[in-house]
């Protein structure tokens, strides 16, 4: 029996953007407020999982042809990379740098290397989450 999932599909088409936006917001909010790479990654990952649940794996895979194992690996690479980058500047392991920059349109912006580390964490979480869900659902 085929389940009628018109409502789910229609709602998800809208909701998934809200979920993903929330994920990105949480990720950037993490610097000074609650949020951060792990939470942001979880929300982004669950958005992607929602897509996989609503539409079938092939359809989503056509839109996002990533191997999520490699996404996770890339995340760990980014995080450890930002951690050891300090070694090349003669600073202790994991030392982070930050500074204020002037940009046209944006004005004064606070940029830190922690963001790179957090991006790594987020990618790792997304990659792991999606890999786990896919590996359970693959062999029906």
Partner 1 sequence: MNNIIVLPMIVPIITAILLVFLRDFIKLQRIISLMTMGFVIGVTALLLGLVQSGGIMKLDFSGWLPPYGILFVADSFALILVLTASIITAICLIYAFATIGERHERMFFYPFVLFLIAGVNGSFLTGDIFNLFVCFEVMLLASYVLVALGGEKVQLREALKYVLINVVASWMFLVALAFLYGTVKTLNMAHIAQRVAELGQDPILTTVSILFLIVFALKAGLLLFFWLPGSYSVPPTAVQALFAALLTKVGVYALFRTFTLMFPLNQEVTHLVIGIMAGLTIIAGCMGALAGKDVRTIATYNVIIAIGFILIGLATGTETGFAGSIYYLVHDMFAKALLFLLIGTMVYLTGEVIVKRMSGLIRNYPLFGWIYFIVMCALAGIPPLSGFIGKLLIGQGAIEGENFVLLALGFASSIIVLYSLLRILLASFFGETTISEDHQKPIPKLAMTAFSLLALCLIVLGVGAEAFAPFIEDAAKTLADPSIYIEAVLGNSE
Partner 2 sequence: MESLMMILIGVLVAVATYLVLSRKILRVIIGTAVLSHAVHLLILTVGGLKKGDVPLLSQSDGPYTDALPQALILTAIVISFAVTAFVLVLAYRMYKTNDADDFSELGGSSDE
Q: Determine if 38 is a binding residue for partner 2 (CB under 8 A).
A: yes
Q: Which of residues 32-71 bind partner 1 (CB under 8 A)?
A: 69-70
Instruction: Report in angstroms how near the CB of residue 95 gets to partner 1 at its nearest.
Output: 5
Which range, of 5-13, 33-41, 54-62, 89-97, touches partner 1 by CB under 8 A? 89-97
Q: Is 34 helix (H, G, I), strand (E, B) or coil?
A: coil
Quick one: tokens of 90?
A: 């003669």
Residue 110 interaction partner, one of partner 2, partner 1, none, beta carbon < 5-8 Å per kind: none
Q: Of 49 and 71, which CB lies nearer to partner 1 in the complex structure?
A: 71
Q: Cβ neighbours of residue 89 under 8 Å, at least 6 residues apart?
A: 95
Instruction: Report in angstroms how near the CB of residue 82 gets to partner 1 at its nearest.
Output: 11
Match 């980014």 to its residue by tokens.
78
Provide the 10 A C-beta neighbour count for residue 34.
Answer: 8
What is the full DSSP assignment across 61-129?
HHH----HHHHHHHHHHHHHHHHHHHHHTTPPTT---EEEEEETTTEEEEEETHHHHHHHHHHHHHHHH
Instruction: Report in angstroms how near the CB of residue 77 gets to partner 1 at its nearest.
Output: 5
Q: Determine if 96 is a binding residue for partner 1 (CB under 8 A).
A: yes
Q: Determine if 128 is a binding residue for partner 2 (CB under 8 A).
A: yes
Give the footprint of partner 1 on this chain (CB under 8 A).
69-70, 73, 76-77, 80-81, 83-84, 86-87, 90-96
């Amino acid at each position: 029996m085929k389940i009628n999932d018109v409502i789910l599909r229609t709602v998800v088409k809208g909701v998934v953007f809200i979920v993903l936006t929330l994920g990105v917001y949480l990720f950037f909010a993490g610097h000074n407020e609650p949020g951060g790479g792990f939470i942001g990654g979880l929300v982004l990952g669950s958005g992607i999982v929602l897509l996989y649940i609503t539409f079938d794996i092939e359809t989503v895979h056509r839109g996002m042809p990533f191997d999520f194992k490699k996404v996770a690996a890339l995340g760990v690479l980014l995080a450890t990379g930002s951690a050891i980058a300090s070694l090349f500047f003669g600073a202790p392991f994991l030392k982070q740098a930050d500074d204020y920059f002037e940009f046209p349109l944006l004005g004064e912006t606070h940029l830190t290397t922690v963001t790179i580390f957090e991006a790594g964490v987020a990618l790792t979480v997304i990659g792991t989450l999606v890999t786990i869900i896919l590996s359970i659902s693959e062999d029906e």
